[in-house]
Structure 1
Amino acid sequence: MARAKTCCFNFCKEFKDFATRGNVLDLAIGIVVGTAFTNVVQSLVDDIITPPLGLVLGGVDFANLTIKMNNFVYTNQPPVVIRYGKFLQAILSLLIVAMALFCIIKGVNHIYKISTKKKKKHEVESIIEASEDIKLLREIRDLLAGRAYIQATTIRI
């Protein structure tokens, strides 16, 4: 029985460690925000973009664009309906989400390049500062070496 409690305790501890890592929390936040973003884009396409587009195309409601196929096997059943209008709306939603993700990734890459340039510039400046320190230390070494040479020559005379 004690072994089962220890096993359960270890499992709980490992699960807590797993769940509190940054990557898992970031993934969960990304899924929630992505779902909300998808709902917004879906509403944008369904309620704002496609109605004026349907109006331009002659008053067509994209959600109602269908192809009805008569049921040849079971004649007493209703016809089969292919809703290609909803499919077109889904494709439009996909294109908008893809464009938004493309813009976000381009922005993140741009920020990453800027931070990399600043980091490299800081490293170069630190190398330059270190070389100035090294120059100063070399001058001090040379002065001390010259003083030691002078002392050595005065003792020999």
Structure 2
Amino acid sequence: MPPRRSAGILLFRRTPQLQVLLGHMGGPFWARKDDHAWSIPKGEHGEEEDAETAARREFAEETGHPAPAGLIPLGVVRGSKVLTVWAAEGDLDADAVVSNTFELEWPPRSGRLQTFPELDRAAWLDLPTARTKLVKGQLPFLDRLAELAGA
């Protein structure tokens, strides 16, 4: 069975220090967690779909904003999924982020489906703060961005 694939875009800005836009994962499993409960806007895609196309689609779905034009490849990290990420310099209002939703039976075995946002909020974070918030499997992308940006 081929590995699950995911792709995303790490938006960054310089104000003057480097900041990244991350989203807090939505749903009941993440509701009371903050450290290592934030993510790069990303999502799964099939083997037949181009990873950059998927990253652009997922960014738009998870932020409610179109993906930026100029993408800089940050490479791949292999864990439970194969995650491919691009960086892009840009700015958007984190408070205006509106994510798509998913349905989940909640509480478990209740028979009730509830709707939750993929990302329940977004924020611009400096790199030291982002290191404490980002899920551990995505941390290598912060290092790659810092190297690329000379931070």
More strand by share: 2
When normalised by structure 1's length, the TM-score is: 0.18
Looking at both structures, which has the greater relative contact order when contacts are Cα pairs under 8 Å and sequence separation is at least 6?
Answer: 2
Q: TM-score, normalised by structure 2?
A: 0.19
Greater C-alpha Rg? 1
